[in-house]
Amino acid sequence: MNVPVLVNGRCDVLKQQRCFSTGGLYYYNYLELAAELERLVDNPELGPILGRQGSSFVDKNYHSDIIRLSNNLSSDPFSNPPPLIDRDLYKPIYRDNQTLILELN
């Protein structure tokens, strides 16, 4: 879609994804929101650049070959893997206490 995002900086998840993707801008209050919108309007080349970066990030990190497993996971993602997970086929790319995201090797 190549559309930039404009996210609330108080939402850690959205802000972090914006930072990883460099696919948009973030704000903390109304004045910053207005300023960032004005920035996009005043710089028409900026939106498509940010949008392409965001789209590239999504294509790379949220492709259909990436599997998300939600369970209570231990500190080692493969210490007690769910059934049907072949360690030779998948590598962990993200893990916290409740989520394991694997990518095909």
In one-letter notation, the amino acid at residue 38 is E
pLDDT exceeds cutoff 60 at 29: yes
99 DSSP assignment: E
pLDDT of 68 higher than 80: no
pLDDT, average across residues 48-71: 72
State the Cα–Cα distance between residues 105 and 99, nearest whole angstrom. Answer: 19
Q: Which two tokens stand for residue 11?
A: 């939402």
Greater pLDDT, 62 or 72: 62
What is the rounded average pLDDT for all residues in the chain?
76
Could you give the residue ranges of the DSSP H alpha helices within the chain? 12-21, 30-42, 46-61
Q: Delimit the domains of the chain by residue range.
A: 5-61, 67-104
Q: Of residues 48 and 65, which shows the higher confidence score?
A: 48
Instruction: Fill in the DSSP letter of residue 66.
Output: -
Check whether 92 has a pLDDT greater than 80.
no
